[in-house]
Structure 1
Amino acid sequence: MNYLDIIKEFEGFESRAYLCPAGVWTIGYGTTKINNKPVKQGQVITQAEAEQELVKHCEQVERDILQLVKAPLNDNQKGALISFVYNIGIGAFKNSTLLRLLNAGDFTGAAEQFARWNKAAGKVLPGLTRRRAAEKELFVKED
């Protein structure tokens, strides 16, 4: 499973804006902004538009990650991080132990950190637990 498959599977596609478990208006494949504007109640999107937004957002997430991660990453590690940061946001990643461990060259320790990010609004969510397991599996997989 690649990172786009992980994102699509765990975000799911919604053509109409909805409030996610963290209370943020979301649409498409977990998108909270369309053309840099926050998603609003009542907004609608096609699946093709959602896929374009997903790819565009992932490209930005990758650029953001590569500015922060100093350790060399293989494609699977990069993909796992794109899915992870797509979900938690670059601000949370920037201050994470996962990033600190990566930059220290502790890939095993960094991989173990995925499981800690399974909560939304303080509650453990089974879907996030499964997503983090899928991201970790991709992260540790040989290219």
Structure 2
Amino acid sequence: MSARARKALAAGAVLGLLAMTATYLTEPWEGTVNKAYWDRLGQVWTICTGETLNVKPGMVKTDAECKAMLLSRLENDFHKPLTRCIPGFDKAPLGWQGAMLDEAYNIGVGAACSSTAAKRARAGDFHGSCHAMTWFNRAGGKVIAGLKNRREYGDATRLGELELCLESLK
């Protein structure tokens, strides 16, 4: 196989991972709001699909702009750093990659890279890593039902990170 073909396949795999994560985890859990709003819990201006970077009061984005922003951030600000802090990230089970990527988007790449989930993945313990991701279920020191559902088995309409993660290990 040529170097160009290998590069194209690798790019396709990353695009598939980003699309899967955005569609089945990040968008359903974050929701999409096209006008900037003040997130009282995070104490930050937010828009689109939980986006807080450079958001100003009064900003408005289209659905297409929100989707492009999410995919760009997932790739550049979360996927790429995860591949640096977890060797072999792109060779790990796809569901584990998606769960880790969504979690990093939600808790921050620094927290994700220094987490027990990342440490277990670096040791090749993906089952243990999947379960360690569920520990990020608190805000303000309290377990939040929505975060618990997101980290575990989801709810009636949304897939949970643990659910996707474990399914990919079968």
Give the shorter-chain TM-score range: 0.7 to 0.9
Letter in 2 for 1:44: V
Match of 1:94 in 2: 113
Q: Is the 8 A contact 1:22 1:121 kept in 2?
A: no
1:25-40 alignment to 2 at 5 Å?
25-33=45-53, 38-40=54-56
Letter in 2 for 1:68: C
Letter in 1 for 2:108: G
Question: Gapped runs of 5+ residues in structure 2?
Answer: 1-19, 153-159
Aligned residues: CA RMSD? 1.6
Match of 2:4 in 1: none
Question: Gapped runs of 5+ residues in structure 1?
Answer: none
Q: What CA deviation, in whole Å up to 9, does each residue of 1:26-77 have, x standing for no partner?
A: 11001112xxxx2122222111100000110111211111111124412221
TM-score computed with the length of structure 2 as normaliser = 0.75
Q: 2:84 aligns with which of 67, 70, 80?
A: 67
What displacement does 1:16 show? 1.4
What displacement does 1:22 show? 2.0
Kindly name which structure, 1 or 2, has the bigger radius of gyration based on alpha carbons. 2
Q: Is the 8 A contact 1:22 1:120 kept in 2?
A: no
Letter in 1 for 2:46: T
Q: What CA deviation, in whole Å up to 9, does each residue of 1:53-105 have, x standing for no partner?
A: 01101112111111111244122211111111111111111221111111112
Paired residues, number:
138
1:44 has 2:60 as partner: yes
Secondary structure, aligned partner of 1:18: strand
TM-score computed with the length of structure 1 as normaliser = 0.88
Match of 2:43 in 1: 23
> How many angstroms apart in 2 are the aligned matches of 1:86 and 1:74?
18
Secondary structure, aligned partner of 1:116: coil
Q: Is the 8 A contact 2:96 2:126 kept in 1?
A: no
Identity of paired residues, percent? 33
| More off after superposition, 80-89 vs 18-27 | 18-27
Match of 2:136 in 1: 117
Secondary structure, aligned partner of 2:134: helix
> How many angstroms apart in 2 are the aligned matches of 1:45 and 1:63?
25
